[in-house]
Structure 1
């Protein structure tokens, strides 16, 4: 990574002038001083990171810098922070390295388009920063491997933004599966949208105040499109995620949530599938459902339309989505809740938990707040719930499924070596052609 020729001085008096935001005592170990707080920078100030910014501040961190390649978004985020702290200390930058290389910053929050995730994450890790990075953690398989290595080498904390693991309905669903309550799992249906596709958007006049070259970064330099980078401040999730140059469609965007839960339920966070299969009647760029991941015990994960994540076992079914939960055991409905129904999600989960998990031997990592879990890990130096291995391997699952859609081939995979097996696949499917200095 090229070094900046000149670093800026970020916060000469920020720590003294800013109103102190103290982390709740429940987060910190007893040895921590009562006025300690995590100093953070935020990179990529669109809809997602503005929400994360407010949530992090609510947990007591000190935000001192923001970065975005769009002037309006950058200054808007800076203004938000200054208003929160009632001062003018927040720095605003175009180049992310101004944040990742600043020694006054403890941690960064990254919510750029996916094609930037690994480059910025590795820069932050090498410079001693802990990282909260939005999902999917990476844009390709090679990047997952390199991010995992970088976390281990630099002894840092990384949390992936796959926050469903911090919700009780997903944890209890996976505990039911892991404890064998519904027997051997035959298949898991995951309901997400379409795979990625090539970007062929029309060129538009560039948005004033946008560094388009830097927005493209490691991806090919193409003409500006407001579909990729909306003009100015916006309150929607831009469609760059649909295009394979920048994301991986909904397979990575939502697969990083639902395939991640399949991984958790199957107990394969430290491994993964051994095969990825395209739909039976595959058509290039037309096939949008039906791809499968196959695990070593024969269990399949199938891309379908349906109910979030549906674990299908020999003795029953567990279905889970945000605010939705259903549990059927040996043909009998044990618990069910959907938002439109009477009752509560909590009571449905409690019924399942008390009846079938009271003596369960497997208790999964319990996090009630994804950001708080990350901040706690910064203090304890213990891995958070969606650490680099979880986020990296869940992303690999998504990328394998996408490659089966892109190429129409059965891919044999070695999850220990993170490489193709049995002479299948193509080395270029693991990575991308990186542009300029932005290499991983």
Structure 2
């Protein structure tokens, strides 16, 4: 059953398969298990993603330009199901050409995300793509256009939206429990840098030209594409031609939470500023309408300074202050437990709140996506959210690179005064 027939069949099933728009984390259902998934980019992140999709749907194809990773991934799928039904591809376009594949999961290096996403949308596939969704601002605009035109479901791999410490922080902000937000701090790593690695002997079985793809073709170096099956996150993220440094890595997560808290999934900042002090990459800012600043600064992953208090969250940490006093807190073990701090905050401040966001349960971000595929609703980190959060990262990286103010018009998706022609696109090359 292909995706279109599947959607038609489930629609006729009526209430049996009726799912709420933002249902998160239901265990795998017969409907989601019948979805056939193709996985593209079999690196470290896909190791975990493919495990989830094998459990909640049915993985039928894997794709990677490295022979070793491709064959090992194929064997893992075969071992999981006890069959030999999983196909393996070097060229992702062969995977997309299959009518029986409903969903694609993309976990390639960043410079491939948009190209594969656009091709997948045009092929009618629903898409789960790792963050950042794009590698430059032009790609963000094109991805939004193509995904909406195709009418497919897209989930960005911004899993922090399902983590309770961030969700509750966002709910507190949205309900103005501490009043209006006055200032925001966020802690993540710095910008990408130009590529400067030397040449190594090519890894056997690796299609290096295809790995580089739309990015500049450089001599092979194992820090970009490690040899064999690796258990670490490769260093391509450090280089602006292939990733975006820490700004597009953890920054993509934290800036996404800030966008969510400010209810800006369909908008964004109006300006990006480099650090005031030279010789440091701390202190870069995003400026929102009205002058609200988001500053890259050491501390919590997200730190909202409000009229009547402070709301702070990091992975596994949470701190609510009101009128200078700590109300609920979990920063280390002596504070009790994170679950208790969150539960007490919800009981005391959010029980009757106007804005409540979905709570992650078993199955998490992937099941939320599969539920949306079945219901044809919007997943939590939908196309606008993923594209706009990526634009935040690209604006900050531009400010670092140009060392000047970058003016942006989020409603028009255009730069303001002082823009250069090369700001819209990164260093892409024509590749087919």
What TM-score does the superposition give when structure 2 sets the normalisation length? Answer: 0.91
Counterpart contact for 1:270–1:390, Cα < 8 Å: yes
Q: Cα deviations across residues 270-303 of structure 1 (Å, max 9, x unaligned)?
A: 1100110111023xxx532110000002111111
Distance 1:123 1:397 in 2: 24
Match of 1:53 among 50, 60, 68: 50
Q: Note if 1:356 corresponds to 2:349.
A: yes
Distance 1:209 1:28 in 2: 44
Q: Note if 1:127 corresponds to 2:123.
A: yes
Q: CA deviation at 1:102?
A: 1.3
Number of aligned positions between the proteins: 408
Give the equivalent residue in structure 2 for 1:29: 18
Give the equivalent residue in structure 2 for 1:323: 316
Distance 2:118 2:167 in 1: 30
Structure 2 CA distance for partners of 1:27 and 1:96, relative to 1, 3 Å: farther
The equivalences for 1:27-176 within 5 A come to 28-29=17-18, 37-59=34-56, 61-176=57-172
Aligned-CA RMSD value: 1.8
Counterpart contact for 1:28–1:376, Cα < 8 Å: no
Counterpart contact for 1:334–1:351, Cα < 8 Å: no
Give the equivalent residue in structure 2 for 1:214: 210
Kindly indicate which of the two structures has a greater share of residues assigned to helix: 2
Q: Cα deviations across residues 38-77 of structure 1 (Å, max 9, x unaligned)?
A: 1000000011001100011122x11111000100000000
Give the equivalent residue in structure 1 for 2:232: 236
Q: CA deviation at 1:429?
A: 1.3
Q: CA deviation at 1:341?
A: 2.9
Counterpart contact for 1:287–1:405, Cα < 8 Å: no
Counterpart contact for 1:202–1:225, Cα < 8 Å: yes
Match of 1:399 among 394, 406, 415: 394
Q: CA deviation at 1:166?
A: 0.9
Give the equivalent residue in structure 1 for 2:257: 261
Specify the SS of the correspondent of 2:334. Answer: coil
Q: Note if 1:431 corresponds to 2:425.
A: yes
The worse-fitting range, judged by mean Cα deviation, of 357-366 and 207-216 is 357-366
Give the equivalent residue in structure 2 for 1:296: 289
Q: CA deviation at 1:342?
A: 4.6
The worse-fitting range, judged by mean Cα deviation, of 182-191 and 249-258 is 182-191
Counterpart contact for 2:329–2:335, Cα < 8 Å: no
Distance 1:414 1:35 in 2: 39
Which structure 1 segments of 5+ residues have no match?
1-10, 12-25
Match of 1:196 among 170, 174, 192: 192
Q: CA deviation at 1:255?
A: 1.1
Structure 2 CA distance for partners of 1:424 and 1:34, relative to 1, 3 Å: closer
Higher relative contact order (CA 8 A, sep 6+): 2
Structure 2 CA distance for partners of 1:349 and 1:328, relative to 1, 3 Å: same
Specify the SS of the correspondent of 1:341. Answer: helix
Counterpart contact for 2:71–2:88, Cα < 8 Å: yes
Structure 2 CA distance for partners of 1:337 and 1:107, relative to 1, 3 Å: same
Distance 1:359 1:351 in 2: 14
Q: Note if 1:332 corresponds to 2:313.
A: no
Distance 1:299 1:350 in 2: 30
Q: CA deviation at 1:365?
A: 3.9
Specify the SS of the correspondent of 1:159. Answer: strand
Distance 2:191 2:428 in 1: 22
Q: CA deviation at 1:366?
A: 3.8
Distance 1:339 1:57 in 2: 35
Distance 2:391 2:163 in 1: 23
Q: Note if 1:275 corresponds to 2:268.
A: no
Which structure 2 segments of 5+ residues have no match?
3-14, 20-28
Give the equivalent residue in structure 1 for 2:9: none
Q: Cα deviations across residues 231-285 of structure 1 (Å, max 9, x unaligned)?
A: 0010000010110000100101111100101111111111100110111023xxx
